[in-house]
Every structure is written in C-alpha cells, then in structure tokens.
Amino acid sequence: MDQITIEDKIFRADRIPLDGSAILVIQGGKGFLGCGYLSLETAEKLGHALAVVTGVSDYGQMLAAKVVRLSSKAQALGVQVGMTGRDALLKMS
C-alpha cells in the first residue's frame, strides 16, 4: 500500500504485480480510480463509484490519463469521461 497526496487530500494506492503488468487502484473516500483490468460491470452491480483509465503502468500515469469509462455512481459525483484521473479522484475524495 502506498499513499498519494493531492491538494492536501490523502489517497490509498495499491499495485498488485502480475506477470509483465500490474493491477493499479487509487482509492478516494467515495470511490476508486482503477486501471482497465477492473470490472465496470461489477462496480455498477455493487453500487461503487469507479473511474477507469487505460494504458497506465504507474500512479503518475493514472493521475495524468483521461478517464475512459465510469460507473453511474462516479458520474453522480461529478466525474466525467475525458477528465484526468487526478480530477476524478478529487471528485471522489
């Protein structure tokens, strides 16, 4: 587990190594920013706020990448497709 600070807000970040890649997740107080490995369908089913970024291999890339998919709960928090992962996390903090 790692911690990332954005505008004095602290987020939990987790990296699960896989053979040649990794599952990346950064958790805000109200939702998650995750890599493309995560299931949007499951987040919808469980009522979780999830914003997905793709083509990333570290936390810095996740923060800079554009959101490509999101759950309806994340949308209700103000997250939008095309915003940066950083901005999405702030909406879900």
Q: What is the pLDDT of residue 20?
A: 87
CATH architecture of 2-91: 2-Layer Sandwich (3.30)
Cα distance between residue 30 and residue 25, in whole Å? 13
pTM for this predicted structure: 0.94
Q: What is the mean pLDDT of residues 53-79?
A: 97
Residue by residue, DSSP assigns 1-61 as -EEEEETTEEEEEEEEEETTEEEEEEE-SS-EEE-TTS-HHHHHHHT--EEE--S--SHHH
Percent of the residues in the chain that have a pLDDT greater than 90, as a whole number: 97
Output the pLDDT for position 26.
Answer: 98
Q: Sketch the domain layout of the chain as residue ranges.
A: 2-91
Average pLDDT rounded to a whole number, residues 30-51? 96
How high is the pLDDT of residue 28? 95
